[in-house]
Amino acid sequence: MSSDKKAILEGPNKLKGAFEKELSLASLSVHADDYINNHQAVAPPMHVSTTFRYSDDPDKLVAWENLNPNAPYDSHVYSRDSAPNTTRFEAVLSSVIGAPCVTYASGLAAFHAMIVFLNPRRVAIGDGYHGCHGVLKIMSKLNGLEQLELEDEADLAKLRPGDVIHVETPLNPTGEARDLERYRRIADEKGCYLTVDATFAPPPLMDPFRFGVDVVMHSATKYFGGHSDMLSGVLAVRPDRAWGEGEGEGGKPAEGGWIHELKEERLHLGGVMGNMEGWLGVRSLRTLELRVRRQSESAQALVDFFAAEKSKGGDGLVADLVFKIQHASQQAEARDANSWLRRQMPNGFGPVFSIWLKTEEHARRLPSKLHLFHHATSLGGVESLIEWRAMTDPKIDRRLLRVSIGVEGWEDLRDDLLQGLQALKEELGN
């Protein structure tokens, strides 16, 4: 075997070099980090060390390099820079997202790092997760950054080259989608960067890079974690912006490009994942496609059922108590096979939707009537959650309940919601 072929089969392109086709998301999520293996154990070990020994050979000491010849793709200096478990997590993420990734301690740490890196004077942002608005408020205090309204034409006219258009899709907490093709056109017209929070639509539901997005952000706490037991954030960078030109030593990417700079800044910002979280993340990604497809399909079945019940009107239980249901599948574009929404989300519309009840008191009380839904914040786990959203978002309509569907049987979840509504009706009436 030639040395070039051997390098391909031993490095990050190992799977691509071994097959004459693109592997499926399910296969990549299980095997994308195989090239990092340096032990016979099938399950990755968990490393808790924060620091790593330098070479015993003084002639091989290089600042911020610590190559272990027995583990060339798993060599580290200090865990604020890199560590074994987070390296594997980033390797699998980069493969399943289809773009180079950098991980952070939380979704908001990732968003903060992205804004610090791009350093815009203005950010156009719409409704969505209030935490991102909080980060922008802090940045405004520090450097005068101006926050603009994404859906306001007068505000969009204020954008200048180098500013940021940040789109959350699907939207928190309603699960409604936004048109990335439209915002790419606006970004091109204004000379702006387009960034997207795609937390609610992880692979295989949406690939924002198909629409020219510059940076994709995820709160990896949600679907990439998937078990309500880890905090993490991730930034994925459009491949043509990710690396410097050319090839570095040993076939590795050349230094330079956005990934190198983001990692340099992360070293000083300090928002790195912990070792335990990196290990949990690798474990979770193995079942990403299985979980997300099941959750999205179940959510769709529930939305379809309750929308149909709502449309019947009359004296039905759902018609009596439910004011409206919000989800990407309920948007008009979902019914058009040629729409931007169907192009953007060809494999399903996501596992999160919102239910508005007739009154605030109904919304406050329904979660306590349910047995299979935990009343808790967050989303994306294997267990179904419902949240009276006013608990964590003071600006939201107080009739709104956010629903995150897990991997339970959807019929059981349907029956739980129906019995909860019935109990609520008996307690409060209409």
List pLDDT tens digits, range 99-121: 999 999 999 999 999 999 999 99
Give span(s): CATH 3.40.640.10, the chain. Answer: 3-285
Phi/psi zone of residue 138: left (φ > 0), alpha (ψ -120 to 50 degrees), beta? alpha
What's the pLDDT at 249? 47
Q: How far is CA 351 from the centre of its chain?
A: 13
SS3 at position 312? helix
Q: Which structure tokens are listed for 409? A: 């049987």
CATH of domain 3-285: 3.40.640.10
Q: Which amino acid is at 349?
A: F
Those residues of the chain that have pLDDT short of 70 are 1-9, 245-255, 429-430
> What are the start and end residues of each CATH 3.90.1150.10 domain in the chain?
288-428
Predicted local confidence at residue 8, as pLDDT: 47
Class of the CATH-defined domain 288-428? alpha beta
Q: How far apart are CA 290 and CA 422, in angstroms?
A: 33
Q: Report pLDDT for 158.
A: 98
DSSP-assigned letter for residue 62: B
pLDDT in tens, 123-162: 999 988 999 999 999 999 999 999 999 999 999 999 999 9
Q: Does the CA dihedral 148-151-154-157 come out positive or negative?
A: positive
For residue 211, the model assigns a pLDDT of 97
